A and B are shown apart, each in its own frame.
Chain A
Amino acid sequence: MSSTTTPKLRPTKETGVLSWLATTDHKRIGILYFFTTLVFFFLGGVESGFIRLQLAQAEQSVISEDLYNQIFTMHGITMVFLVVMPLSAAFFNYLIPLMIGARDVAFPRLNAFSYWVYLFGGIFLYSSFFLGGAPAGSWVGYAPLHATEGMSMGFYAIGIQILGLSSLAAAVNFITTILNMRAPGMTFMRMPVFIWMALVTNFLLLFAIPVIAVALFMLQFDTLYGGQFFQPGSGGDPILYQHLFWLFGHPEVYIMILPAMGIVSEILPVGSRKPLFGYAAVVFAGAAIGFIGFGVWAHHMFTSAIGPVARSAFALSTMFIAVPTGIKVFNWVFTMWGGKIRFTTPMLFSVGFVSMFVIGGLSGVTHAIVPHNAQQHDTYYVVAHFHYVLFGGALFGLIAGIYFWFPKVTGKLMSEKLGKWHFWTWLLGFNLTFGPMHMSGLLGQPRRTAVLPGELGATVELYNLLSSLGVIVLTGSALVFLYNLITSIKRGEASGDDPWNARTLEWMTPSPTPSVNFYRIPTITHRDEFWHRKYAEDESGKPVSIPAGASDDHDSDGDDDHAEEHIHMPDPSLWPFVMCLAFFPIAYGMLYFNPWLFALGALWLVVGYFLWITEPLAEGDDDDPEDADDHAAVGAAAH
């Protein structure tokens, strides 16, 4: 009904730029996320190149102190908020519906909204380079330093609030999807571990993002409008900002690592051709990490103005969180134990993840030794530690995921030969870059210094030079990966539907996945459902292959008559994109304190919002069988 009265502004083409701007398909949004993070990863990588160039020799200034401070700040912001978090979101988008047997996420247009907010937030942050200088207050943006950095920290406070909005909307969406849209029979304890970790991660986002939103809102007022929340001269408290930041910031660490842990928990069983060892232990350890992760924040503040009781309490909770982390590591190793491991590239990166993450975990335990933390804190030892967790950990896991699910997205394989080159050079470059930092930190090199002080001695200089050489290796390695990615997209070897002999639902669908994921929603009877449709176990527990078509469960794929069913697929919509454009005038209006610009943005937002909500989810989608035929026809054509 309403569809006849609303002007037809809905793009109907399946290809072209407009189709991407208007897409509400979780898979295409996942692809958008992926390529956007690739661009930001390039920018963050260039920034790290400048950092290592500056510190390659003592007492040299290739770039000015001012520019260096901007660059290391933007490197941190980029890698955390614009690369690792959204890259995880790319996996959530593409995989959550497929792995739980759903046709899309719960709120497809909100999903598009999340992506566009992320993209525009990132563009807004980077526009600072052209508008008087990027934020130079480090990624933590501590008060009261922020106030003296003026406009640039305004970009920080507003930009990250916008990015937080994206994460918050996505968190609501994914939690709803996982809780409500699982295929029949998929109980919680039959969910893939990746889905579990996605669930935990998104709950962490849901509770942590509001905390940073509050902190940044106050910071924005302090920075731009003369607020005094964190100004000690008028009774404000700079330590309050640290508490708020890290109450978000530590769960944030787990927000970045848990998705990678989920990915690795999927790949190790496939590569070892054995189920995950101790599924329940891995799941509960992940959930425990999520809970305890909210109780360790002040270990980032051990040298700040907090007393011995607080220091002791957070030392204990920090040590405590090592226990569930250890449980996970041992279960991963024992997944490999007794298997028949095929070292494909995703498997190499997964094993690399476990190995490198252990190093980051162990140096993490040393931080809990508070008296010595006072030596390590804010030195390159800490830089080494968190890169072992976030680069050796999160990024290795995410890259494993890229190689693993590439065939799912494209129907092609990435080159194994280049993949192995990528892995070994990546491993070497990573350790060469960050390994020596443990030592240079303990030998006295503080982080965030625009020059490497010569007085630290020749050994520290040597370690810094090694770190800088490591970045060259990493750059070459990244180029191999990029080349592999592009050539494999163009002319990769056909993968077939199930190239890895995988275990989970997403591989039951054809590769690349058609726009309708499942014509018929599968009924789940096992954890690792797909595997159990391929193999039964004999008396001794040995898996025996089930002949094709003999599964007690009906194979639904490719069954044409199901295409006649009425399948609800969300139609494309331009409104999330149009509405999100409003964040530019809102953000610049707040930044330059221009009420007219702000009002324009607010009005735009409201109008866009109404156009969004008055547009039906799908044309004629009122459970009217006649209208629905169109959709079935479109779906069948894609099929």
Chain B
Amino acid sequence: MRDRVTMRPPTRRRRPLHLLILALLALGLSACGDAEQNALLPAGPYAQEPHDLIIPVAIIALVVFVLVQGLIIYSSWRYRERADDDGSLPEQVHGNTRLEIVWTVIPALILAAIAVPTVQGIFSQMAEPDDDFMTIEVIGHRWWFEYYYPDHDIYTANEMVIPANTPVRLQMTATDPARDASQGVIHSFWVPRLAGKQDLVPGQTTFLNLQADEPGRFLGMCAEYCGLSHANMRIRVEALDDGDWQAWVDNQTSPATVPDEGTLEARGRELYGDLGDRQACASCHQVWEGDGSRSPGQGPDLTHLMSRQEFAGAIHDLDAENLRAWLADPESMKAMNYELDGIGMPNLNLTDDELDALVAYLLALD
């Protein structure tokens, strides 16, 4: 009963304040149709739950903010020294025990009320989803994310494709370059509209649940500082409806296209496997043509490269021009220091002819 009395003022103020918050949010969203990385715009239950938790807290915080700032401004104004002051000193008040108790107990009660759903939320966010869920393994590399679908034996990079309206449990770790924990650093997987972030730690496995209620493309970024190109480590999640999802899986599970003999693409395929005394593409990247099992190297799997829209940590559109620039001089396209630490893509000193052939081959990997 007493609880209800203390909690009443915020409740009574909720409606106008709620409107105010919504107005502020609207202001925040007004200019951006491209706000696909917006933490205030949940698009699935694992983003919705924290959102529903923070809104009442934000309202309480706003009430406290207004009260305290109001009190500060009021007492500054009301008790300022006036021009006609008689020079006498104010009454020397030393304190008031009753007030001390009030402003100790009320905040404590408010916090206790917030604490209960917070703890519930912590456990429900981290638990395995109740419904049938799909597992995707996520590996954080410097500076790109790799995804492995154990149910389908699919490898892909940067862009994670998921079925809409299905819980997905990410099983995550971090390694690089040679899938060796001794080389990894910590990353954090964050797609704000689908879930909060969770760190990927080398040598350990962490989990994150996410789900998209509707088909759509959701943006994210690595959120734990991971060195030189941390800013260039982006994430895209593509949620597809059932039909598109099945088509995507069928495509990904089929072997890569092998170009016809004598074409430019075929020349590119040769170079891909053998660059003479230079490091061949195939020593780091896999193009699975149906033989043996899929086992990716240090770099992203390229079997169905052109099924993705972006590359290089999802900072560049995947087209002929960008691919060519990337192959010619990777460090001009993304901050890396391969000579120094072997992280990222080396400059292979490709000739113009080699570039033509390789780009043609890569563009054929649909």
Given known A-B contacts A145-B186, A275-B92, A446-B223, A65 and B114 have beta carbons under 8 A apart: no
Query: Are the CB atoms of B31 and A459 closer together than 8 Å?
Result: yes
Contact with B along A43-84 (1 / 0, CB 8 A): 000000000000000000000111001000000000000000
Given known A-B contacts A322-B107, A362-B61, A448-B225, A457 and B31 have beta carbons under 8 A apart: yes
Q: Which residue of A lies closest to B36 (CB)?
A: A455
Stretch at the interface among B72-80, B258-266, B267-275: B72-80
Q: Cβ of A315: which chain B residues have Cβ within 8 Å of it?
A: 115, 118-119, 122
* Interface residues in A186-224 (C-beta closer than 8 Å to B): none
Bound together, the chains give a CA A237 to CA B201 distance in angstroms of 10
Q: Which residue of A lies closest to B172 (CB)?
A: A305
Query: Are the CB atoms of B90 and A340 closer together than 8 Å?
Result: yes
Nearest Cβ in chain A — how far from B159, in angstroms?
Answer: 14
Contact with B along A147-183 (1 / 0, CB 8 A): 0110000000000000000000000000000000000
For the complex, is A443 an interface residue (Cβ under 8 Å from B)?
A: yes
Query: Are the CB atoms of B188 and A362 closer together than 8 Å?
Result: no
Query: Are the CB atoms of A358 and B68 closer together than 8 Å?
Result: yes
Q: Cβ of A535: which chain B residues have Cβ within 8 Å of it?
A: 89
Stretch at the interface among B8-16, B226-234, B245-253, B280-288: B226-234
Q: Cβ of B227: which chain A residues have Cβ within 8 Å of it?
A: 69, 136-137, 145, 148-149
Query: Are the CB atoms of B35 and A371 closer together than 8 Å?
Result: no
Query: Are the CB atoms of A273 and B90 closer together than 8 Å?
Result: yes
Which residue of the partner chain, among B53, B69, B93, contacts A274 with CB atoms under 8 Å? B93
Bound together, the chains give a CA A439 to CA B232 distance in angstroms of 22
Q: Cβ of B81: which chain A residues have Cβ within 8 Å of it?
A: 340-343
Query: Are the CB atoms of B51 and A372 closer together than 8 Å?
Result: yes
Query: Are the CB atoms of A375 and B92 closer together than 8 Å?
Result: no
For the complex, is B151 an interface residue (Cβ under 8 Å from A)?
A: no
Given known A-B contacts A275-B93, A366-B54, A378 and B223 have beta carbons under 8 A apart: yes
For the complex, is A304 an interface residue (Cβ under 8 Å from B)?
A: yes
Q: Cβ of B100: which chain A residues have Cβ within 8 Å of it?
A: 278, 281, 327, 331
For the complex, is B351 an interface residue (Cβ under 8 Å from A)?
A: no
Bound together, the chains give a CA A535 to CA B221 distance in angstroms of 63
Secondary structure at the A interface, as helix, strand, loop or mixed, is helix
Which residue of the partner chain, among B114, B181, B184, B192, contacts A369 with CB atoms under 8 Å? B114
Which residue of the partner chain, among B37, B72, B107, contacts A323 with CB atoms under 8 Å? B107
Bound together, the chains give a CA A541 to CA B89 distance in angstroms of 11
Query: Are the CB atoms of A233 and B183 closer together than 8 Å?
Result: yes
For the complex, is B34 an interface residue (Cβ under 8 Å from A)?
A: yes
Bound together, the chains give a CA A376 to CA B223 distance in angstroms of 10
Query: Are the CB atoms of B38 and A444 closer together than 8 Å?
Result: yes
Secondary structure at the B interface, as helix, strand, loop or mixed, is mixed
Which residue of the partner chain, among A277, A444, A541, contacts B95 with CB atoms under 8 Å? A277
How many B residues are at the interface, by size bracket? 35 or more
Q: Cβ of A66: which chain B residues have Cβ within 8 Å of it?
A: 228, 335, 337
Which residue of the partner chain, among B32, B93, B229, contacts A459 with CB atoms under 8 Å? B32
Q: Which residue of A lies closest to B49 (CB)?
A: A371
Bound together, the chains give a CA A103 to CA B12 distance in angstroms of 58
For the complex, is A592 an interface residue (Cβ under 8 Å from B)?
A: no
Query: Are the CB atoms of B198 and A279 closer together than 8 Å?
Result: no
Query: Are the CB atoms of B202 and A232 closer together than 8 Å?
Result: yes
Query: Are the CB atoms of A145 and B185 closer together than 8 Å?
Result: yes
Q: Which residue of B lies closest to A337 (CB)?
A: B75
* Interface residues in B25-57 (C-beta closer than 8 Å to A): 28-40, 47, 49-51, 53-54, 57
Bound together, the chains give a CA A458 to CA B31 distance in angstroms of 6
Query: Are the CB atoms of A145 and B92 closer together than 8 Å?
Result: no
Q: Cβ of B186: which chain A residues have Cβ within 8 Å of it?
A: 142, 144-145, 238, 304
Bound together, the chains give a CA A68 to CA B121 distance in angstroms of 37
Which residue of the partner chain, among A65, A138, A307, contacts B231 with CB atoms under 8 Å? A65
Q: Cβ of A237: which chain B residues have Cβ within 8 Å of it?
A: 203
Q: Cβ of A439: which chain B residues have Cβ within 8 Å of it?
A: 28
For the complex, is A549 an interface residue (Cβ under 8 Å from B)?
A: no
For the complex, is B206 an interface residue (Cβ under 8 Å from A)?
A: yes
Query: Are the CB atoms of A375 and B204 closer together than 8 Å?
Result: no
Query: Are the CB atoms of A303 and B198 closer together than 8 Å?
Result: yes
Q: Which residue of A lies closest to B315 (CB)?
A: A453
A-B pairs with lowest CB-CB distance, top 3: A233-B182, A374-B196, A232-B203
Residues of B within 8 A of A (CB): 28-40, 47, 49-51, 53-54, 57-58, 61, 64-65, 68-69, 71-72, 75-76, 79-81, 85, 88-96, 99-100, 103-104, 107-108, 111, 114-115, 118-119, 121-123, 125-126, 180-186, 188, 190, 192, 195-199, 201-204, 206, 219, 221-232, 234, 335, 337, 341, 343
Known contacts A319-B115, A444-B192, then 19 further A-B pairs from the complex at CB < 8 Å, ordered by chain A residue: A149-B227, A273-B89, A308-B122, A315-B118, A323-B104, A336-B72, A340-B85, A341-B81, A355-B69, A370-B122, A371-B121, A372-B54, A373-B196, A375-B54, A443-B35, A444-B219, A446-B222, A453-B231, A453-B234
